[in-house]
Structure 1
Amino acid sequence: MAGNPRNGRPYRRLVAAQKALGYPCARCGYPIDPALDARHPFSFTLDHAVPLSRGGSLLDPANARSMHRRCNSAKGNRTAPAPPKTSHRRWRW
């Protein structure tokens, strides 16, 4: 009986390698503090550019990118980039 592939050594190796690169969040662009507890909203998570539910590869480094836990949850299984953060304020000149 096979276990969860995300608990396997190859997946953990991919996560460690991606985290070691020190890239900022692929969604918001802010740095990711590697010392944060894994449950913290701004901790490191591995995101898949092409979600697994849409046929993306679990272990392909080209499909892996760094993301905050909160940003990854907000992205869900979408592949489109995040909508731009714009103000809805009406400016008066």
Structure 2
Amino acid sequence: MAGNPRNGRPYRRLVAAVKAQRHPCWLCGYDIAPGLDARHPLSFTLDHLVPLSRGGSLLDPANARSAHRKCNSSRGNRTEARPQQRASRRW
């Protein structure tokens, strides 16, 4: 397969299907505004429950989740939904 598989028609269909469901961000629980510019931190992105770098499927709808861009970026390729909270100061 040549090029980026995320530019293909099957991936774009999956993104459109997940976005049409209008689920809240699975990481923070807040709604995702549909009209935001794609570069906005609170815009929609498709996140994968099992990250692609850890063997998750790119096109499996069961692996696809709605997320804010900033939530998706902050999660990285970790498998847990929320990173552990840090203490406010050293004890």
How many angstroms does 1:71 deviate by?
0.1
**Aligned in 2, Cα 1:53/1:81: closer, same or farther, shift over 3 Å?**
same
Distance (Å, rounded) in 2 between the aligned partners of 1:74 and 1:17: 24
Distance (Å, rounded) in 2 between the aligned partners of 1:36 and 1:85: 29
Structure 2 counterpart of 1:80: 80
SS of corresponding position for 2:53: helix
Question: What per-residue deviation string (whole Å, max 9, x for no partner) do you get for residues 53-83 of structure 1?
Answer: 0000000000000000000000000011214
User: Sequence identity, in percent?
Assistant: 74
Q: When the two structures are aligned, how many residues end up with a matched partner?
A: 88
Instruction: Tell me which structure has the larger Cα radius of gyration.
Output: 1
SS of corresponding position for 1:41: coil
Structure 1: gaps (5+ residues)? 89-93
SS of corresponding position for 1:70: helix
Distance (Å, rounded) in 1 between the aligned partners of 2:39 and 2:30: 18
Structure 2: gaps (5+ residues)? none
TM-score, L = length of structure 2:
0.90
Question: What amino acid does structure 1 have at the position aligned with 2:23?
Answer: Y
More displaced 10-residue stretch of structure 1: 76-85 or 17-26: 76-85
